[in-house]
Amino acid sequence: MTFRHRLAVLTLVLGSVLVVSCDKSAGPIVRGPSDATPFRLEIVAPPSIEPGASVQLRANVVRTGGAVENVTDQVQWSSTDTRVLQVTAAGMATGVERGEVHVRVIYQQARTTSVPLMVVPTGTFRLGGRVTENGFPVPGVTLTVVDGVGQGLTAATNGNGTYLMYGVAGQVRIVATKPGYQDRIETVAVGEHRSLDIEMVFSGRRLDLSGTYALSLEVSGCDGKLPEGARHRAYEAAVQQNGQQLSVRLGGGDFIVVENRGDRFKGSIRPDDLVVFQIGEDFFTYYYYYTTPNPAFVERLTDTESLVVIGTVTAKGSPAAISGTLIGTIGLVARTGPPFWPFSVLCHSDEHRFEMRRK
């Protein structure tokens, strides 16, 4: 073999080795520092937008090193209420009507973030607050702006007595009205988003529910889950009334009272004679219903077992009785001291029967 031939063969072999080596080195791709570093997702948006106006929103990935990458066209956009604000797939937001939403983005099917965005005319603000009577919420109150920027706007209180109105500014006058209550007029200066709480005065007929009652509680639904002795319970109940506020003290059972809880609960009566009692609070996980360590209603049934009642009673009041349903949990706990959870057996239902008949 000549020198030229040996050189050609050597060159071919070395080239093959180099090719193989290159192929092997092209294994898992190692991302550069800008891709590998942790990041946060942010939305760039104005705090508010006018009804009928459109604005381009932007989504950014911000690396820990400070590098910013525009990913507006790589995220999924959404609005929590499209009646107020709509967002296109490209991040173009359009105000529809006055209100407030959260704009949300999802990046790479995993990372998500959101920002609040208000729809109001330029130079105007949000006014909200709570309407109460003696500290208790008053639902169904109509609030109307009768003078100032935003004149003609109306809002109504929800079940918690709260309201929100969008698009007021400067010195405004508001009238709060509800049948059975005195009209309330408030004047407020609005130069920013702010709150205004209003106290109403009841002027109508209010049912007097104070007195002593025989209380019967019957489990509905969950057939067979609770023993018969726990499905039908009878007690005495003493009701005290202060305006719309009701306080109930139980008797006729072996109640376990810890830190002034266990044999009492509170509620309110509304102008339409609707009575609402709140009996403690409960929390649900995938496996259990949990309650607070010291429930509002807990009775010792045996030396080792207690009955716990939790939920909301909605009932109709009359001079003779308070009759309705308990939406909540009636269950047994295998202990007679706190904490009164987890339940060993329970029945959660919207139809537990609740009745208090005046003695």
pLDDT band at 308 (very low <50, low <70, confident <90, very high): very high
Same fold, 39-119 and 125-199: yes
Query: Which phi-psi region, left, alpha or beta, contains residue 344 (left: φ > 0; alpha: ψ -120 to 50)?
Result: alpha
Supply the pLDDT for residue 292. 63
The phi, psi pair for 333, rounded to 5°, reads -125, 135
The domain 125-199 is placed in CATH, from the list 2.60.40.4130, 3.40.640.10, 1.20.200.10, 3.30.470.20, at 2.60.40.4130
Residue 39 or 1, more confident: 39
Which residue, chain included where needed, has tokens 């003609």?
152
Query: CB-based contacts of 288: which residues, under 8 Å, 6+ apart?
Result: 341, 342, 343
pLDDT tens for 62-85 read: 988 889 999 999 999 999 999 999
Query: In sequence order, what are the beta bridge partners of 298?
Result: 308
Please compute the mean of the pLDDT values over residues 89-105 and round it to a whole number: 97
CATH topology of domain 39-119: Immunoglobulin-like (2.60.40)
Residue 336's CB is within 10 A of a number of other CB atoms, namely: 17
pLDDT tens-digit readout, 115-153? 999 999 999 999 999 999 888 888 899 999 999 999 999
Domain segments of the chain as ranges: 39-119, 125-199, 211-358
Q: State the DSSP string of 270-287.
A: -TT-EEEEEE--EEE-SS
Q: Read off the pLDDT band of 282 (50, 70, 90).
A: low
pLDDT digits (tens, 9 = 90+) for 7-52: 333 333 333 333 333 333 233 322 333 445 578 899 999 999 999 9
Residue-level pLDDT at 103: 97
Helix and strand numbers (H, E) in the chain are: 3, 29
Percentage with pLDDT > 70 across the chain? 86
AA identity, residue 235: Y
Does the bond joining 116 to the residue before it have cis omega, within 30 degrees of 0? no
Helix/strand/coil (H, E, C) string of 63-105? ECCCCEEECHHHEEEEECCCCCEEECCCCEEEECCCEEEEEEE
CA distance 356 to 326: 12
Q: Looking at residue 287, what is its pLDDT?
A: 42
Q: Which residues pair with 277 in a beta bridge?
A: 267, 313
Q: For the whole model, what pTM was predicted?
A: 0.65
Distance between CA 71 and CA 62 in Å, rounded? 10
Assigned architecture for domain 211-358: Beta Barrel (2.40)
Q: Measured between alpha carbons, how far apart are the two ends of the chain, in Å?
A: 123
